[in-house]
Each structure stands twice: as structure tokens, then as C-alpha cells.
Amino acid sequence: MDEMLAAIVENARPRHGNGAVATYIPELGKARADALGIAIVTVEGDSYDAGDSDYPFSIQSISKLVSLALALTELGEEQVFSRVGVDPTPDPFNSIMRLEMDRINRPYNPLVNAGAIAVISFLPYRESAARTSAVLDLARKLTGNNALAVNEAIYLSERTTSDRNRALAYFMRSTSILDGDVEDVLDTYFRQCSIEATVKDLAIMGATLAAGGINPVSGERVLSSRVCRVVRALMATCGMYDGSGEFAIRVGIPAKSGVGGGILAVVPRRMGIAVCGPALDAKGNSICGMQVLEELSREMRLRVL
């Protein structure tokens, strides 16, 4: 197994030249474009890895799964989905356009930036410190890594350059989608995006989502099976943004990408798979990561869609 994974990684690695590391958050520009790692954790708790599986990266939009799962647990589906939709959008992840076009001004889904920022604002905590620690606490339980932490340099880099997310958030407050203090809500968003992890950490998170909420390594029940089902369904339909349809055809597994180069894929009742390769395509998805997942899905017959 480890040999097959290593072969798939080395086969995909040269493709990093077809993409580019994100630089719109300046600190992300320091990532190694040719880094590529994979880790798999099964629902039985067995683990495999290859390539740069200890390479630390910021989880970026993969964190949207954590804040969404927290909101669904604390508030329920009714409360969350009355204000944020559940359907895919053909627009880029940070698009502002449809916030004014949709009849009720709702963000399309909780995995685009607007939807994720809105969901964070619904969380029942008074300020960013408490909200962030609740998200971090859940991320630690999902990964089983109690040392998981925010990379301060990446957080500050995004906070000082994120005019687009500020625009989304202020617009949503003007239409009463977003609750509370915009800068405080964004602070949680920037911090959770900057949580640093390895593919080994994220594969355990994926295995927990695959297993219906029980972390197969710690044995702890972290989420309800219903919350996992909703999160997996949104990953399948919206997790790769405007590349979700193409990814479903190529790979056929629910997945969520981040501009740090990570992709977390979940094969229900079987395993979590995490890959990281910081060179991205035009839609913000890891070029080599998608290639690795496509080959692995074919080799191991993982397709569920």
C-alpha cells in the first residue's frame, strides 16, 4: 500500500509546474510549490502515508467543514439553512455577485466564503476568542491532535489583506444575513483558515467524518452521524467550488479543498484521505492533489458518486 501511494505521488508531483502557489494572501506565497504528500486513515484506524506527509500547511477552506459542523451541532439544520443555502454555485469561492442577485440574498452554500463567514456569525459565542477556541477544540477532537494551532503569520497576512472577505461580510450585514460585529466575525474566519496541520492530521478528520462521527483513533464520538452526513453531502456538491462537478466526474468522492493546497476527501464508511500540494489551478484547487486523488480512486475503486 505505502509503495502504491509513493508511486502515485511521484507520478503526480511534476504537474505542480502547471499551477501556482496562492499569493493573494502573501504569506501563502512562501509554500513549497513542489511539496506533495498523502495520508489515509481507515475507519478501523489503520493509517498509510507517502511523500511530504509531515509538511505543515494552513487548512484554509477545509476549516469551513469544522465551523459548519459546530454550527449544525449547536444550532441545528433548520437555523443554519434558513439563512444559508445548500446548493452549488458556478461562481468562484470568493464571489460577491450572487449575494445581491439571489431573491433572498442568501449565500449559496456554507462552503463558499460568504456562506462560511455567515455561518461563523451564527455561532453562539460573544466574541472571536471564544468562537475560535470552540472551532479549534472541535478541530483537535476531529484530528486527535491536541497541539493543533493557528499559524500567526498566515493569520496576520490574511487579516491585513482581505478586502474581498471584508466586502462580503459588510455586504451581508447590510442585508441582515450576518449577525454581530463584522471585524470580530472575520477574526474567527481568518484564524480558523490559518490552522496549521499535516495530511496525517486531516486524514484522521476525514476518517471521523467517514465513520459517522466517531474518531477511529481516539475512539471518541465527536459528531453525530446526521451532522457527518450533511457535511459529506455538501462536500460532494460544493466542496471543490466551481470545480465540484468536474471533480465528481474525475474522482467521485466527497472532498473539500483549501488554498493552502490541502484537499480532504471522505469515502463514507471506509476512510479519510488527505493530500497537500500547494500549487493550485485557476479555481484554487491543488493540481497535484486532484491528480493523486483521481489515480487513487481508480486504483482502489473508491468512487461513490
Please say if 150 is a catalytic residue.
Answer: no
What does the CA dihedral 113, 151, 162, 96 come to, rounded to 10 degrees? -10
Query: Closest distance between ligand GLN and the C-beta of residue 221, in Å?
Result: 28
Which residues contact residue 104 at a Cβ distance below 8 angstroms, ignoring those fewer than 6 apart? none
Cα–Cα distance, 113 to 245 (Å, whole number) = 19
Is residue 113 at the binding interface for ligand GLN, with CB under 6 A as the rule? yes
The residue from 21, 185, 259, 266 that is catalytic is: 259
Cα–Cα distance, 232 to 8 (Å, whole number) = 25
Environment class of residue 18 by beta-carbon count within 10 Å: exposed (0-12), middle (13-18) or buried (19+)?
exposed
What residues from 119 to 138 belong to the interface with ligand GLN (CB under 6 A)? Answer: none
Please say if 259 is a catalytic residue.
Answer: yes
Chain mean position to CA 56: 15
Chain mean position to CA 279: 16
Query: Closest distance between ligand GLN and the C-beta of residue 73, in Å?
Result: 22
Ranges assigned E (strand) in the chain: 20-21, 37-42, 47-51, 57-58, 149-150, 195-197, 255-257, 262-267, 271-276, 279-280
Q: Which is nearer to ligand GLN, 158 or 187 (CB)?
A: 158
Of 27, 52, 158, 201, which one interacts with ligand GLN (CB under 6 A)? 158
What residues from 26 to 65 belong to the interface with ligand GLN (CB under 6 A)? Answer: 60-61
Query: Closest distance between ligand GLN and the C-beta of residue 186, in Å?
Result: 9
Within 10 angstroms of residue 183's Cβ, the number of other Cβ atoms is: 12
Cα–Cα distance, 99 to 106 (Å, whole number) = 6
The residue from 182, 241, 267, 275 that is catalytic is: 241
Is residue 68 at the binding interface for ligand GLN, with CB under 6 A as the rule? no
What residues from 254 to 293 belong to the interface with ligand GLN (CB under 6 A)? Answer: 258-259, 284
String marking each residue 76-95 x if it binds ligand GLN according to CB under 6 A: -----------------xx-
Residue least distant from ligand GLN (Cβ)? 61
Please say if 55 is a catalytic residue.
Answer: no
Query: Closest distance between ligand GLN and the C-beta of residue 257, in Å?
Result: 7
Nearest to 260 by CA among 185, 163, 195: 195
The residue from 41, 47, 63, 64 that is catalytic is: 64
The residue from 47, 53, 58, 61 that is catalytic is: 61
Cα–Cα distance, 145 to 149 (Å, whole number) = 10
Q: Is the dihedral of CA 113, 258, 122, 230 positive or negative?
A: positive
Query: Closest distance between ligand GLN and the C-beta of residue 156, in Å?
Result: 13
Is residue 67 at the binding interface for ligand GLN, with CB under 6 A as the rule? no
- Would you name the residues annotated as active-site residues? 61, 64, 189, 241, 259
Site residues (CB under 6 A) for ligand GLN? 60-61, 93-94, 113, 158, 165, 193, 258-259, 284
